[in-house]
Structure 1
Amino acid sequence: MTKASEFKKKDKRYKKAWIISVNMGYGHERAAYALRDIAAGGDYIIANSYKGIPKEEKKSWQESRKLYEAVSCLKPIPIIGDIAFGIMDKIQEIPNFYPRRDLSEPSIQLKGTFRFIEKNNIGKALVDDLTEAEQRLPFVSTFFIPSFAAELYNYPGEIYCIICDADFSRAWVSQDAKRSRIKYFAPCGRVVERLKLYGVREENIYFTGFPIPKELIGGSNAEIVKRDMLDRFCNLDPNGVFRARYEKILKSHFGNSLKTCGRVKRPLTLTFAVGGAGAQRRLGIEIIKSLREKIKRNQIQINLVAGTRKGLAKYFETEIKKLGLKRNHGKGINIIVERTRPEYFKEFTKLLRTTDILWTKPSELSFYTGAGIPIIMAPVIGSQEEFNRLWLQQIGGGVDQLDPQYANEWLFDWVNSGALARMAWNGYIEAPTHGTHRIEQIITGKEVELEQLPLVV
């Protein structure tokens, strides 16, 4: 495995790179958003809907996306949803890690992906355009298909792919992994080791962590994270249980600022984020229903994140009225919906700075525990989320939800005992925090002093 610090001065680095993503769900694009500072042209490129994409290629992408979102939305429906999602999940199955063995043989899904690319010329026009526009700029993709296309169509510069989950299927690595020139950014230690099993050469693997927006982190000292965690501790540990028990180690990080809780003016704040397909919208209302009396008493405020889905926001608004909480809309209950994805990512990042608890399915947002945010996990959708869940539990940054109809009881037990404060601390200490900084360092060569990440698998 190559470390960012091992680049030599003579290696040619770049100030910018082509940052490529797809708008299937939010996860891949969320990673690209965090890297927009080094994006050539001032923004990342959506490979399946950019301006100028050939009509036939766009149609092929759209059919693929519709299938994914349709099956995801069917998941909550008994029997039918389980069957449909089970078939899709089986195709994308992640093989058991142990015993360690050679897993470099291409999977059925991977072979199908290459047929899809070659038959429909997926990515060819984009690769040709980028080659002509600015030869040799690094090509950084947050999804495997654009990186495959870049290699297949002989993009002249370096090609990188960002893995967006704590484990992943063989479909993310090229058919001839040992000879492929695609390099990978790994969000956690398990991904590093999995890449080796799939046949990727060690020099093409970089352990960086998942790219979290720098507005949530700060610089190499994580000054923004530390400042926000101090506020978070005040709400997550109102009785001082966690801070008393870990006083010495906390003081070594925060100094005497640990006791200054007078400045925290907001109530306990919980953010519920629905995935891109909107499959778990009912859960958000179940949470509101359980906590409504505490919302009325200003003991907690809830952010319902609808992303860019106006229909989902309308659903939340309608259900809140049915619960007799219309007057609390905007005062105790906030619905977040934005016109575009970049606007949503910007607002969501801002929102997390004043969020004490993030309640979401274990998607790529699992890695945001590295910003000192405890995560309550909704039920998984897809096998990769099961691995995110296990990773989050292993590092101690998150916990499975209990019955949401009793959240008014168990959630406040976790708060009053300091349990969620402990999860916030574990996430910050154990999960990679500076993924964006490390990726930028590899691309630009700009030196950043960061601690070496432990290879937790």
Structure 2
Amino acid sequence: MKSKPKAWVMSADMGYGHQRAAYPLKDIATERIINSNSDKIVSKEDKKTWIKARAFYEWISRMNEIPVLGRFLFWLFNRLQEIKPYYPFRDASTPNSSVKFLHRKIAKGFGKSLLAYVSKERAPIVSTFYIPALVADYHHLPAVYCVICDSDINRIWVAKDPKKSKINYFVPCIHAYNRLLSYGVAEKQLFLTGFPLPKENIGGESSPITKKVLARRLVNLDPQKKFLSSHKSSIKQGLGKYFIFGAKPKPITLMFVVGGAGAQSDIGFELLKSLKHKLLDNKISICIVVGTHIGLKDQFSVFIDEIGLKSRLDKNLTILAELTKKDYFAKFNEQLNKTDILWTKPSELSFYSGLGVPIIMAPPLGAQEYWNRKWLFEIGAGSDQEAPEYVSEWLFEKLNDGRLARKAWNGFLNAPRLGTYNIEKILKNHGKE
């Protein structure tokens, strides 16, 4: 058996995105995936700083749901993480105020407790959050890699002086690649790998699990065969033995994902009300994903009882909730192989379109999600949600005309899916140049 490369894999407990990107890299992690803001090796002083930052992040994420004042506060915060227009393409390497502030914190010792621990074993550092990478780079540790988690990023992901920085970047798409070039990162330090997706949803570089699941999914997404009839030969060529044109469609499974800070849960309540009779008639299965927000699970359970759907729980209506993020990611990936449609804000889950799952997009929260939404439109794998209270109408219209099947196929063809394997290859070759 070929040995896996080993690395210090680091992340941050800020919502789900950065940890979701780290989870597929668990096979190469030295000891464990280290959360740079909550791991036992982090100093008390650093933890205090992180706790304040995380509390603010979760608070401001929920503010957007509060009319007028809440949305104004969220707008102000969003200005701080604003990403400048892409065109005209220009030199954007000058550090902004956020970069300068973070640089001063690092210079005063912020984050150094991480390095004292990982220095005991020489291995590359792979971080799915910018701070551990910037700290390691500031203290001149060799072999520092940073995983980009969105299709576009703020200047804060790059060191104050990019010409002196040695950070290498694993990049999910060409848009982010070019943005890093504009920030002054040397091209030799950029690797267009794709976003790291879970191996349990892929099965190897030939993607046998993805193909098998997609073959079943396409049949369910196009019960009238509007899309499949005109693309039968190309689908057969792409999916091989797994695709059977005459297979009988089954009721679709919809997965709705509540945001990491519990944002947009109101959409989940609305879609359940609208799809109540479809659930009672077994015309659809729904999985509400609340992650590690157990309190939110209780809220949905009460609501499901109130609208008369308790009898469908653990049948064609489920709530996915776990106590730990590790268990949550494992269950999420397992459920994804049974899912036909993913309804989520355009977070890091946008890249899961590469698994051949169509994305229905809830409104974006933050600048990065605006660009992820744009990217999904460009590759043809996602569409904006219509009014959630009428989902029982528009969802089945999209099914009957084959639109969702088309988006699933577009994602499979146009979105990269081998990021995890590509990252492992690069790390395995590290030091051989």
Q: What is the TM-score with the length of structure 2 in the denominator? A: 0.96
How well do the aligned residues superpose, as a CA RMSD in angstroms?
1.4
Deviations 1:226-254 (A, max 9, x none): 00001101110111111111112112123
1-side partners of 2:429 and 2:53: how far apart? 37
Q: Report how far residue 331 of structure 1 moved.
A: 1.7
Q: 1:355 aligns with which of 316, 339, 349?
A: 339
Corresponding position of 2:302: 318
2-side partners of 1:401 and 1:68: how far apart? 25
Corresponding position of 2:110: 122
Alignment of 1:237-316 (within 5 A): 237-255=222-240, 257-259=242-244, 262=247, 267-316=251-300
1-side partners of 2:72 and 2:242: how far apart? 53
The residue type equivalent to 1:189 in the other structure is: I
Q: Match of 2:243, SS?
A: helix
1-side partners of 2:236 and 2:323: how far apart? 43
Q: Report how far residue 184 of structure 1 moved.
A: 0.5
The residue type equivalent to 1:15 in the other structure is: P
Q: Report how far residue 59 of structure 1 moved.
A: 0.8
Indicate conservation of the 8 Å contact 1:21/1:44, yes or no. Answer: yes
Q: Match of 2:350, SS?
A: helix
Q: 1:383 aligns with which of 367, 387, 392?
A: 367
Q: Report how far residue 262 of structure 1 moved.
A: 4.7
Indicate conservation of the 8 Å contact 1:14/1:445, yes or no. Answer: no
Alignment of 1:387-426 (within 5 A): 387-426=371-410
Corresponding position of 2:129: 143
Alignment of 1:90-109 (within 5 A): 90-109=79-98
1:65 and 2:54 are equivalent in the alignment: yes
Worse-superposed segment, 244-253 or 376-385 = 244-253
The structure 1 segments of at least 4 consecutive aligned residues displaced by more than 4 Å after TM superposition are 260-264
Q: Match of 1:35, SS?
A: helix
Indicate conservation of the 8 Å contact 2:252/2:340, yes or no. Answer: yes
Deviations 1:120-171 (A, max 9, x none): x22201112111x202x1100001110011011232x300001100101101
Indicate conservation of the 8 Å contact 2:232/2:245, yes or no. Answer: no
Q: Match of 2:153, SS?
A: coil
Indicate conservation of the 8 Å contact 2:271/2:388, yes or no. Answer: yes
2-side partners of 1:228 and 1:149: how far apart? 41
Corresponding position of 1:27: 17
The residue type equivalent to 2:159 in the other structure is: S
Q: 1:51 aligns with which of 40, 43, 65?
A: 40
The residue type equivalent to 1:32 in the other structure is: A
2-side partners of 1:22 and 1:198: how far apart? 23
Deviations 1:172-199 (A, max 9, x none): 1101112200010110010110010000
1-side partners of 2:75 and 2:66: how far apart? 12
Indicate conservation of the 8 Å contact 2:321/2:328, yes or no. Answer: yes
The residue type equivalent to 2:20 in the other structure is: R
1:183 and 2:168 are equivalent in the alignment: yes
Q: Report how far residue 260 of structure 1 moved.
A: 5.8
* Consecutive unaligned residues in structure 1, runs of 5 or more: 1-12, 447-457
Indicate conservation of the 8 Å contact 1:163/1:185, yes or no. Answer: yes
The residue type equivalent to 1:134 in the other structure is: E
1:75 and 2:64 are equivalent in the alignment: yes
Indicate conservation of the 8 Å contact 1:14/1:443, yes or no. Answer: no
Worse-superposed segment, 243-252 or 370-379 = 243-252
Deviations 1:7-65 (A, max 9, x none): xxxxxx98200000000010000010011011111x21111111132111111100011
1-side partners of 2:424 and 2:385: how far apart? 35
Indicate conservation of the 8 Å contact 2:251/2:283, yes or no. Answer: yes
Relative contact order, higher structure (CA 8 A, sep 6+): 1
Corresponding position of 2:414: 430
Q: What is the TM-score with the length of structure 1 in the denominator? A: 0.91
Corresponding position of 1:201: 186
Deviations 1:202-261 (A, max 9, x none): 000000010001111111111111000011011101111111111121121234642266
Indicate conservation of the 8 Å contact 1:360/1:375, yes or no. Answer: yes
